[in-house]
Amino acid sequence: MEALKHLATNMPDWLKRLGELGGQIAKRQRNLAQLIEPRMGVKLKRKHPACDPSGAFFLLW
């Protein structure tokens, strides 16, 4: 029972932290994309937000 109380107490904090980390990852991916695109002549296309809310990019060769 103690384990369930622990989960119920800490879950909101974990979800908040996961959201923060997801935002940081998306920001770093955008920064890397800006560095890669002009140097490699690679086109980058943003994934559709409905499919990937992180704002991630993927490479088009």
When divided into structural domains, the chain yields a total of 1
Residue 34 is part of which domain span? 2-60
For residue 3, what pLDDT is reported? Answer: 93
For residue 25, what pLDDT is reported? Answer: 95
Quickly state the pLDDT bin for 33 (edges 50, 70, 90): confident
Q: Is the pLDDT of residue 52 over 60?
A: no
Quickly state the pLDDT bin for 58 (edges 50, 70, 90): low
Give the angle subtended at the CA of 39 by the CAs of 35 and 54, to the nearest 5°.
Answer: 35
**Helical (H) or strand (E) element with 44:** strand 43-46
pTM value?
0.54
For residue 34, what pLDDT is reported? Answer: 84
